[in-house]
Amino acid sequence: MEIREESDRRGAEVIEELSARVFDRYLRWDRYSVLLYVKVGGKIFVAREGETALGGAFLRRMGDGFWELTLIGVFPEYRGRGVGKALMERILEEVPGEIYLHVEAENAPAINLYLSFGFEKVRKISRFYSTGEDAYLMVLKRTPRRPAKASEASG
């Protein structure tokens, strides 16, 4: 399995499929909307085995050093074998700055994944989803990169 950055049409198709198959109860992302966000700095990562997509993630750039993890998902047949973890590792390597996300309050697999990478629950938002489910807002706070030498910091 390898994780590729596919911030292009092919990656957008995987996000569309994940959105339809894995997140069908909520918001449906289509490839064209995803590509619009890629144009303004959004990123797509896809986990593949050969050419088969196992899962993927879509991040929207919300400002300087500020990102939303809009969608991360693994197709049901490939879960529980480290794909989500590998996607998250790659995201944290490639995406600088703070990342926030919303997750269903009862979604233990996803919440565990986020907690294990240092995300913190900031608040619970009741009836966040159209299904009536509550959500947690979770944030990964990362300190900005410091200059290499103390002398540079003091200017």
- Full strand arrangement of the beta sheet holding 98-104: 2-5, 43-49, 52-63, 66-74, 98-104, 135-140, 120-125
Interface pick for ligand COA out of 12, 46, 95, 113 (rule CB under 6 A): 113
Closest by CA position to 54, among listed 4, 95, 112, 128? 4
Phi, psi of 54 (to 5 degrees): -95, -30
Q: How many residues bind ligand COA (CB under 6 A)?
A: 19
Q: Please report, for residues 26, 35, 105, 113, 135, the alpha-carbon distance to residue 138 in angstroms, rounded to integers and kept in the order given.
A: 18, 25, 11, 12, 9
Draw the binding track, 16-45, toward ligand COA (x: CB under 6 A; -: no contact).
------x-----------------------
Q: Please state the closest distance from residue 147 (CB atom) to ligand COA, in A.
A: 34
* Token representation of residue 28: 């449906």
Looking at beta carbons, which residue is closest to ligand COA? 84
Interface pick for ligand COA out of 80, 132, 144, 155 (rule CB under 6 A): 80
Q: Is 105 in the site for ligand COA (CB under 6 A)?
A: no
Interface pick for ligand COA out of 11, 42, 56, 73 (rule CB under 6 A): 73
Instruction: Please check whether residue 73 is in contact with residue 18, taking contact to mean a CB–CB distance below 8 angstroms.
Output: yes
Interface pick for ligand COA out of 92, 110, 137, 139 (rule CB under 6 A): 110
Binding site for ligand COA (CB under 6 A): 22, 72-74, 79-85, 103, 107-110, 112-113, 116
